[in-house]
A and B are shown apart, each in its own frame.
Chain A
């Protein structure tokens, strides 16, 4: 029984979640109270992974990440190795694919904060970063947690994009979801069962945790 796919999956999901949190919070703050066409456009782009088949997104990411693609060429010049069929490429693809799962709860969280709280903090003489750290973020804890858990869980479960961009390379890009596919193809149903049931239990438990936490926050 090969456990590497589990470690890889966990590492991938953790990296993607950390990056997504760092991108997601400023993005949500910017998006939440804008009405411009640009903001709507960005919000629509962020939500695209929800509706597109993973293969479509995976295909375009593959073209971008390729050594002669616009993004891949720059990457290779800076880091000396290609982005496709590589763990870093997988992380980037997961970040793109996980955007809506992080950004949408965060935008909802920012919008749920009454404008008066921010104005009160301002009239009390606080600069915007103090308001952000002491008032805005603490009052959207539930949204931040939801975003992190959903992004993490989604990165764990991703299949299509990971297959297109990562290429199913043992020890580098073969995450659990791909390992299941391989095991089934090799008629190794026992391994497939182990991988699948762990993923199944994990997904259920994370979702359960999200709903529990939100219920507690909203009833308080």
Chain B
């Protein structure tokens, strides 16, 4: 269990602000720090790992005091049993995959090393150097390296943000599996809502150094005035006039949507705004994305559409 109260003056893109957070993460819980870049998420993680020192507050992990500003306690980074996974993987380029993982182990044991590599399905990469691996493979190695020193807490700093979507999904499962196996408190920093939704038991939404919302992903992301039947989040790319109405182009991850707006709504939004595209009036249809349409199916869909218009 992690209990922490952290304060530090930081310098963000829009000037100085004070990071001031209070949180608790139970064993077996996966908590996500969610928020825009520069909000202080990574700094919190680095403070927990001992890579940065808070000005005020305390950090207590499983009853051990790692930091306390008033009692002048500061456990050095190397004595904190954390598994830290970096966005840039941070594998040692001079060591093979096996050596990277063995480096982190307290007692070197060839059997345990192979077990660990096997756990992540990277046993066949044992003698390869990091520079010959794909991003996803590198992050698997980094993950196994992080847990091989048997950490009390697992800290993941945007571990998947440099990976493509399919690799990201695979590794999300991998991280969850390892998290459950370890049974420790896991903290994940992310600015990807889908990722947060899939992985987190609890979200702490952080803005300008403060926690401004916390709860389950559903509570935090869907705390809205109405409950939509269909909703995706996205970002407004452009708004243009089309005769008497306005047309907004919204990007939602990999897809683009067009939404028709009235003049009043068109004035409320500007390009760059984060928005929820929602609908209550009809049931959106789900069609298989990758399987090719059967002609028959397609015809049925068309007929249904025509029928509807009739």
Contact = CB atoms under 8 A, between A and B. Distances in A.
B78 A122 contact: yes
B103 A134 contact: yes
A125 B131 CA distance: 24
Given A116-B90, A119-B51, A134-B103, A220 B78 contact: no
B86 interface: yes
B251 interface: no
Interface in A106-134: 114, 116-117, 119-127, 134
Given A116-B86, A116-B88, A119-B51, A124 B145 contact: yes
Contacts of B77: 119, 122-123
Interface residues of B, number: 25
Contacts of A124: 78, 103-104, 145-146, 149
Nearest to A119: B51
B84 A220 contact: no
Given A114-B88, A120-B86, A122-B78, A135 B145 contact: no
B92 A117 contact: yes
Interface in B55-114: 77-84, 86, 88, 90-94, 103-104, 106
Interface residues of A, number: 18
A118 B152 CA distance: 21
B49 interface: yes
B90 A220 contact: no
Nearest to B88: A116
A132 to B, nearest CB: 13
Contact of B51 (A117, A123, A125, A220): A123
A139 B93 contact: yes
Nearest to A123: B84
B88 to A, nearest CB: 5
Given A114-B88, A116-B86, A126 B78 contact: yes
Contact of B90 (A120, A126, A138): A120
Nearest to A113: B93
B202 to A, nearest CB: 24
A139 B86 contact: no
A126 B80 CA distance: 11
Contacts of A117: 90, 92
Nearest to B77: A122
Nearest to A140: B94
A219 to B, nearest CB: 11
A139 B78 CA distance: 21
Given A119-B51, A122-B51, A134-B103, A127 B78 contact: yes
Q: Give the most central of B77, B80, B149: most A CB within 10 Å.
A: B77
A121 B84 CA distance: 10
28 contacts: A114-B90, A116-B86, A116-B88, A116-B90, A117-B92, A119-B49, A119-B84, A119-B86, A119-B90, A120-B91, A121-B103, A122-B50, A123-B49, A123-B50, A123-B51, A123-B77, A123-B83, A123-B84, A124-B78, A124-B146, A126-B78, A134-B92, A135-B94, A138-B94, A139-B92, A139-B94, A141-B94, A220-B131
Interface of A: 114, 116-117, 119-127, 134-135, 138-139, 141, 220
Per CB-CB distance, the 10 closest pairs between chain A and chain B, nearest first, are: A116-B90, A120-B90, A138-B94, A123-B84, A124-B104, A122-B77, A125-B78, A116-B86, A122-B78, A123-B49
